[in-house]
Structure 1
């Protein structure tokens, strides 16, 4: 019980998936607990995250850690070495590089997720939906510029910001369908980065099938009356 790790999550959540990828990168064994997206929430979730009442939540020795970016840092600090006992920190050692990684992680959560949500919440053809499409393209181009010519966002090694962003790669297909644009034309380097990330077992075993993600996005559009 002292080292028991449980992740409260939802299958398609990019926020939960980043936690799963980080745990896999560290070689941490954990129990996965699927939660409900809608309807009555489990008692465990309500007890573990009484403030926001949402996933993901990491339970470590019964103590809850909430909010995915905070969970990532907790995982990085609690298990600083990989399963092979070699240094494998997700965040950079340099303070400035850490600050930049946190800045861009915040950008992903505030900008990319907002555009994604508006793509399926707003009705196609309406002015607000057209603006959401333009905003999404701008965000993707901004992330592409930050990546530049590097293999990964942190340089040559897969790290913190890669873990933060890579779950959204499974949503790229939905972006194209709902936004009416081609990802390979807008951000070819970002698409190639996503393919490199998927070569890692931690990512390949975690990301949801893009077609299933798109079906889920259509479910959300229907739920919000945006079809």
Structure 2
């Protein structure tokens, strides 16, 4: 059996999408929680360029960056496709994935910003609703109150250090 480890944090939506992809494919893995203030030597060993999460370690070989990891998962394991097979649809999906990577929903809410709204992006809003209604997605997203508390504490710590 293949050895598979995922280095990440419980609160990262980038890591959550990797975990969701692995679960959709039915792949067993070990999750290794990283402390971003004191990164493990293993994380630094397996991602010496960026020195950050997320790293998927498959049989001792590291794969870094969440979108790259999703591509790897999709091509490596059988099961439901993560990415569309049609090149145009895949490019469009990658565009939206990058768009969402740059728009932090919970952080927007905490900061009182309205960068992304269903009124401005109705089709995307509908897709997000469908996404959140998928049982595997629901089971793997952290509670919003726990996530909000984490980021509020982080913001307070940053503000106090200045």
TM-score (norm 1): 0.63
- Structure 1: tracts of 5 or more residues without a match: 83-87, 121-128, 153-189
**Higher helix proportion, which one?**
1
Match of 1:96 in 2: 88
The answer to whether the 8 Å contact 2:9/2:15 transfers is yes
RMSD: 2.4
Q: Deviation digits for residues 91-121 of structure 1, max 9, x if unmatched?
A: 11211111100111111112x03x755766x
Which residue in the other structure is 1:145 paired with? Answer: 122
The answer for the alignment partner of 2:158 in structure 1 is: 224
Provide the rounded CA distance (Å) in 1 between the counterparts of 2:13 and 2:132.
17
- SS of 1:224's equivalent in the other structure is helix
Q: Provide the secondary structure at the position in 1 that maps to 2:27.
A: coil
TM-score, length basis structure 2: 0.87
* Residues 61, 143 of structure 1: alpha-carbon distance in 2 compared, 3 angstrom cutoff: farther
SS in 2 for 1:225: helix
Superposed, 1:24-173 pairs within 5 Å as 24-38=23-37, 40-79=38-77, 81-82=78-79, 88-110=80-102, 112-113=103-104, 117=107, 133=113, 137-141=114-118, 144-147=121-124, 152=127
Offset of residue 204 of structure 1: 2.7
User: Are 2:117 and 2:125, in contact at CA under 8 Å, matched by a contact in 1?
Assistant: no
Once the two structures are TM-superposed, the CA of residue 48 in structure 1 deviates from its matched residue by 0.6
Count of aligned positions: 160
The 8 Å contact of residues 6 and 30 in structure 2, kept in 1 or not, is answered as yes
Cα deviations across residues 117-159 of structure 1 (Å, max 9, x unaligned)?
5766xxxxxxxx67xx1xxx2323487434376xx4xxxxxxx
In structure 2, the CA distance between the partners of 1:224 and 1:205, relative to structure 1 (3 Å rule), is same
Residue segments in structure 2 that go unaligned for 5+ positions in a row: none
Contact 2:132–2:138, Cα closer than 8 Å, also in 1: no
